[in-house]
Structure 1
Amino acid sequence: MPVFRGGTAVTAESRLREDLASAMASGGQGLSAADRLCVACVDLLPVDGAAISVIHDGETRGTFGSSGEFSRRLDEFQFTFGEGPCLDAVATGAPVLVPDLADPGERRWPAFTPAVLDEGVQAVFALPTAIAAVHVGVLDLYRASSGPLSETVLNAGMWAAELAALPLLDLMTSDLDWNAASEGGDGWEQLASLERVEVYQATGMIIGQLDIGPVEALARLRAHAYLAGQTASEVAWDIVERRLVLTPDDHPAAGNNLGSIG
């Protein structure tokens, strides 16, 4: 039932929209605004986690905002496995709503789904974010309980996904040249910093150690993460800090050899 504010009817959905916008605008821009938006989603909506992924060329380029480390880790699984609802949401330009990840009929993401279920997540809702009609990111909402979002909550979530474009614009120029990101202005340098630098450092070390190409090196890193139940970034830090050395035998086809721990 609507309430009246200044003689104007205010619905639950419009109140949520106002509160989400107010939370993001409460101070600071860019990454801090994205984090505030994710925290507001958890505070105002019946969800337990929120994260904003930046997507380009079919891969997650980084977590642009999150409600906390738990949500950031969940987002990382989509990069580790190269699959997940955020990638599908950008590919289709439409929301991907999964009210019950444990549903036996839910088979779209054979690696991502069991990983997040193991983390205690039962439902995920991926809402695409667009800039100038180009889908460049996704707001992921996570829930520990299964069940769909109500129409009011879903509409508020879609509004939050629209708001997520605003802090992205604080970091971007109009020329979306990802390959030249590090050569651009301040905004692009901040955006480039979202990329998983430790993964690329670790991939370079694997290339040198095993004398293989970059595609195979990244595949081995991801395969190790999958077998070890870790994210790609966690494995990368172990490699960069020389706690882990991958061996020629830990190719996915070689079984469960997880490399040597230093």
Structure 2
Amino acid sequence: MAGADTALAAADLLCRACVRLLEVDGASVSLTHEGSTQGTFGSSGETSRQLDELQFTFGEGPCLDAVRQGAPVLVADLGDPAETRWPAFAGALVRSGINAVFALPVTIASKPIGALDLFRRSAGTLGAAALTGGLLAAELAALPLMDLMGSDLDWDVAAQGGDGWEQLASLSRIEVYQATGMLIGALDVGQTEALLRLRAYAFAHDMTAADTAWAILEGRVSLDPDDWLEPGGPRREPG
């Protein structure tokens, strides 16, 4: 795992450099796969990692848009009434004290595979020099991801039969996939609905998808087949 550790450490260093050199308070690098964020592979700190995790929980955010569009997504004021993108994600960021977010696509072989997300407490545009530096940092962010793909990861915990990107993606949130598997069996639903129910519980209880997954795996949360859309929502086990 030495190669993976080195790649992840390099991504963290890059994010911390963004905070020092650009006009931002936090930064993270995340990977996407099939329209969903799949993991935070670098961050300037725990707060930035948690903010990035919200994009997976809500299934929306600037990283996903930047990858889909293949272009930077720059939101200078999340509190602007005219800004209607990502209502759940944007609201969570504002409540966390973040009022501006900028996502710059990370590209490998001309294919956007993730984004460098920059978070700032104060509203306002990203200056020209900071934007130029951010775009350069997004180019550099591809390097640790490439190293990670070539490292000696433990592929046994990854999805069997998938290609490299699918395997890497599955490693990033293995607890979510394990909890989804439990829900498939317990609720007799498909994978998509199981993940939807997990995310719905997370949203309703102001939790991240990862925290909800651990709660399911540890038996602290139980979802019944028929109560997830009722007013009371899924129940939390006592204790």
Aligned to 1:79: 56
Secondary structure, aligned partner of 1:120: coil
Aligned counterparts of 1:57 and 1:99: Cα–Cα separation in 2: 27
- SS for the counterpart of 1:168 is helix
Q: In the TM superposition, what are the counterparts of 1:19-168 in structure 2 within 5 Å?
A: 29-168=6-145
Work out whether 1:208 is the aligned partner of 2:182: no
Deviation at 1:261, TM superposition (A): 2.3
The alignment's C-alpha RMSD in Å is 2.3
1:128/1:138 contact within 8 Å kept: yes
Counterpart-to-counterpart distance in 1, 2:227 and 2:60: 22
Q: Is 1:229 the counterpart of 2:206 in the alignment?
A: yes
Residue 259 of structure 1 is matched in structure 2 by 235
Asked if the contact 1:198/1:237 (under 8 Å) is kept, the reply is: yes
Q: Note closer, same or farther for the CA distance 1:182–1:116 as it changes in structure 2 (3 Å cut).
A: same
Deviations 1:159-197 (A, max 9, x none): 100100111111225xxxxxxx6569xx87983564211
Match of 2:155 in 1: none
Task: Please give the alpha-carbon distance, in whole angstroms, between the structure 1 residues aligned to 2:142 and 2:189.
Answer: 39
Q: TM-score, normalised by structure 2?
A: 0.88
d(CA) in 1 for partners of 2:132, 2:26: 17
Tell me: CA distance 1:222–1:64, structure 2 relative to 1, closer, same or farther (3 Å): same
Q: Distance in 2 between matches of 1:250 and 1:220?
A: 11
The 3-state SS of whatever aligns with 2:19 is helix
- Measured in 2, the distance between the counterparts of 1:226 and 1:66 equals 23
For 1:155 and 1:258, locate their aligned partners in 2 and report how far apart those are by CA, in whole Å.
Answer: 46
> Partners of 1:118 and 1:238 in 2: how far apart?
24
Distance 1:128 1:256, change over 3 A: farther
Does the Cα contact within 8 Å between 2:173 and 2:210 map onto a contact in 1? yes
* Structure label with greater radius of gyration: 1
Distance 1:32 1:221 in 2: 30
What SS class does the counterpart of residue 161 from structure 1 fall into?
helix
Structure 1 counterpart SS, 2:129: helix
- Which gives a bigger RCO, structure 1 or 2 (Cα 8 Å, sep 6+)? 2
Tell me if structure 1 keeps the 8 A contact 2:78–2:94.
yes
SS of corresponding position for 2:168: helix
C-alpha separation in 1, matches of 2:69 and 2:169? 25
1:261 maps to amino acid = E
Q: 1:111 Cα shift? A: 1.2
Provide Cα deviations, 1:49-78, integer angstroms capped at 9, x if missing partner.
100010121111111111111111111111
Distance 1:81 1:188 in 2: 22
